[in-house]
Amino acid sequence: MAAGTVTRADLSEAVYQEVGLSRNESAELVESVLNEISDALVRGEMVKVSSFGSFSVREKGQRIGRNPKTGEEVPILPRRVLVFRASHVLKEKINRVLSAIKM
């Protein structure tokens, strides 16, 4: 796996190593899963991955922002934002690894 960033290719390679599908089948499987997740989010559905976390889309209303250089008020248009909430299992795993590193 690449240091720092996990790519689609890394995920495909991991599926290839763990499951034993061909490299092409592994890449197609990863692509299919990612497409299903993104399609569900576009439809406004929540995506929950057990022991990992949940993805959802939140509506943000219009608000007034301020240009930090000029101080001028600028309207920020309404938009949809992607939100990820890590599961307790993932949080505990991350914290367990971090505490082991500090010791």
Contact 71, 62 (CB under 8 A): no
Tens of pLDDT, residues 45-80: 999 999 999 999 999 999 999 999 999 999 999 999
Tens of pLDDT, residues 81-99: 999 999 999 999 988 877 7
Residue 63: closest CA among 75, 46, 49? 75
Claim: this prediction has a pTM higher than 0.85: no
Tens of pLDDT, residues 10-38: 999 999 999 989 999 999 999 999 999 99
Token pair of 34, please?
Answer: 């990612």
What pLDDT score does 81 carry? 96
What pLDDT score does 1 carry? 43
